[in-house]
Amino acid sequence: MNRTLKKILIGTGILVAILAIISGGFMIKMKSELKKMNVLGTKEVVHNIYSIKDSFVNMYLIKDSDCYVAIDAGNDRKIISDNLKILNINPDKVAAVLLTHTDGDHTGALRLFRNARIYLSKNEEQMINGKKTKLLFFHNRLSTKEYILLGGVSIKAIMTPGHTLGSMSYLVNDTCLFVGDAFGLKNGKVDTPNKFFSSDMKTAILSFDKISNLSDVEYIFTAHNGYTNNYKNAVNTRLN
């Protein structure tokens, strides 16, 4: 074996070892962070609002007459399908899916809702067209950009970037705020979003200002830390 080839093989081996160590460390850290998440079970949380549990994440359904509006779409299509059966909810009745952002654990079951149109923020599009990534070499994927307006449910979209560049929160019927991963809840108080999974913590904290003084809000629903029915108490403590 000539000296040049030997150096190349040694260099390649070192690079592979470094990547393996980085990957292993990332997986260990990710598992540790996932264990901290405290999601709701599959149930009717408040009247006409349902939480669907998918391992470490919640998606939500809001009943609008004989159809539903979904907030996010969970991580695993089969798990979401099985949990909808528990509630006797037909996924074909979901007319719209409002994505808080496009991470895979919020979009995994989109194809289950074959009659639904999908809504996401304009800024989030760069997360799925390859312009921006959260992790090196990996970008989010989504198959549709359509949206739909429903008459029976009032929906206000509020840009809350930080977790991703285009993270969106949704205020439903002026009383229910769905924040995805924009921030968490801890002991009934607003908590900082998970630093490990967030793109820009400074921006995430600034986004909190947009939702900290909403006059009629009663409920806050998060993707990974359950919900609170006391909005004023939750936002009384500022993010660190």
* Phi and psi at residue 115, to the nearest 5°: -100, 0
Q: Is there a domain that residue 8 lies in?
A: yes
First to last CA, the chain: 58
| Same domain for 140 and 96 | yes
Q: Is there a domain that residue 240 lies in?
A: no
Helix, strand or coil for residue 180? strand
- 19-60 per-position pLDDT tens digit: 666 666 666 776 777 678 789 999 999 999 999 999 899 999
Q: Is there a domain that residue 207 lies in?
A: yes
| Same domain for 95 and 11 | no
Give the closest residue to 99 by CA, choosing from 76, 120, 80, 75.
120
Domain of 121?
Answer: 39-235
Point out the least confidently predicted range of 9-13, 113-117, 205-209.
9-13
Q: How many whole angstroms separate alpha carbon 7 and alpha carbon 15?
A: 12
Region of residue 187 (left: phi > 0; alpha: psi -120 to 50; beta: else): left
- 97-121 per-position pLDDT tens digit: 999 888 889 999 999 999 998 888 8
| Same domain for 228 and 157 | yes
| Same domain for 131 and 106 | yes
Q: Are 220 and 185 spatial neighbours (Cβ–Cβ below 8 Å)? A: yes
Total domain count for the chain? 2
**pLDDT band at 180; cut points 50, 70, 90:** very high
| Same domain for 137 and 49 | yes
